Structure 1
Amino acid sequence: MSSELRAGSLLLASAELLDPNFLDTVVLLLDVNDDGALGVVLNRPTALPVSEVLGEWGEVVEEPEVLFQGGPVAPDGALAVALAAPGGENAAGFRPLWDRVGLLDLDTPRELVVGSVDRLRIFAGYAGWGAGQLQGEIAEGAWFVVPGHVDDVFAGDTRDLRRRVLRRQPGDLALQATRPADPELN
């Protein structure tokens, strides 16, 4: 397990994390600095089509073409995570985070984005932690920190994302993928 917190790392909720906002979640970290951390929950699709809220952006988002519940903070706001096309890392409205993954400013005219972005997912709200808060939660065993992959961010079926990410981890962490929801019922 990597303990390095940085953009592109994934937080996997452990069985000890009982907060309903994060139960069984996979969180993509977008920013980590001395003031805290910010991320989005990757495995909470809503039933609301992006096109109903953000019009034309619904035509360019990754399947499923719905908003994802990014976290409990600012649920009326939207964050767009995109994969830049090769050479598109300097496109208008795109802020690189790691590899070719970055944030896309949804105020950018869509016609300036077409061709510069290969994949796009939009999140309603985000998860945020103050200075030292996330590190404290990790120390308490609430989160596993692992490297993220581009396919995790844009997975079409996210129902089993947490288990899939856990299974590919080395050593004992992979065993967490087989843990039942309630071990006492095992």
Structure 2
Amino acid sequence: MMGSDMQAKSGFLDHQFLIAMPGMQDERFARSVIYLCAHSEEGAMGIIINQLQELDFSDLLIQLGILDEKQAIRLPTKARDLQICNGGPVDRSRGFVLHSDDYMVESTMPVAGEICLTATVDILRAISAGRGPRHALMALGYSGWGAGQLEQEIAENGWLTCPANIDLLFDGDIDNKYDRILALIGVNPTHLSTQAGHA
């Protein structure tokens, strides 16, 4: 189900992918896929999952003082390969980790099903020591909308929505996520119109 049909059933779009339409006016969100962590009458919060940062995870750990350069060389492969996404334009100095529910600390917020969000340095230490969650996606910054703003953008044909797919959320093929998620819901990007329809 897409857009307003989904909203009519549940009221909110938690645990959905937002997929930017080709005519997206805001360059920061062009060809972006956002995982919606929370959506309510007060607004919405999500993480862009397909825009990479140039910063390596090991460099981030060194910057934060979690590891020194010698320790960073000995990072477990899984930690060394963890990519960092640009989660959105809000609070870009703050880190957020979307992850599987096999890792929980006091600050962990369950999002939906098997997915949680942790925004404290504890999870970075756990990942660097090989004690982190089975699946993780790290982002700097997030995407946020005020009350009614996201609904308006969807109504104006800015976004497609679909239920989130956990495999696509956590897989490492960041560059092709946009096209693969569209293919998953049976949408050919060349057939998408940038015009909103009104009956």
| Length-normalised TM-score, structure 1 | 0.81
The structure in which a higher percent of residues are helix is: 2
Deviation at 1:115, TM superposition (A): 4.7
Matched, 1:31 2:38: yes
Q: Structure 1, unaligned stretches of length 5 or more?
A: 181-186
Aligned residues: 175
Q: Could you tell me which residue of structure 1 aligns to residue 19 of structure 2?
A: 12
Root-mean-square deviation (Å): 2.9
Deviation at 1:151, TM superposition (A): 1.4
The one-letter amino acid of 2:178's match is R
Matches within 5 A, 1:31-110: 31-55=38-62, 59=75, 64-85=81-102, 88=103, 91-108=105-122, 110=125
Q: Structure 2, unaligned stretches of length 5 or more?
A: 193-199
Q: Please say if residues 57 and 81 of structure 2, whose CA atoms lie closer than 8 Å, have aligned partners that are also in contact.
A: no
Shift in CA distance, 95/135, structure 1 to aligned 2, threshold 3 Å = same
The one-letter amino acid of 1:167's match is A
The structure in which a higher percent of residues are strand is: 1
Deviation at 1:64, TM superposition (A): 4.2
Q: Please say if residues 97 and 139 of structure 2, whose CA atoms lie closer than 8 Å, have aligned partners that are also in contact.
A: yes
Shift in CA distance, 152/106, structure 1 to aligned 2, threshold 3 Å = same
Higher mean Cα deviation, 36-45 or 106-115? Answer: 106-115
Q: 1:126 and 1:147 mapped to 2: Cα distance?
A: 19
Shift in CA distance, 146/165, structure 1 to aligned 2, threshold 3 Å = same
Larger Rg: 2
Deviation at 1:6, TM superposition (A): 2.8
Q: Could you tell me which residue of structure 2 aligns to residue 159 of structure 1?
A: 175
Q: Could you tell me which residue of structure 2 aligns to residue 124 of structure 1?
A: 140
Deviation at 1:91, TM superposition (A): 4.4
Q: Could you tell me which residue of structure 2 aligns to residue 184 of structure 1?
A: none
Q: 2:162 and 2:130 mapped to 1: Cα distance?
A: 32
Q: Please say if residues 79 and 130 of structure 2, whose CA atoms lie closer than 8 Å, have aligned partners that are also in contact.
A: no
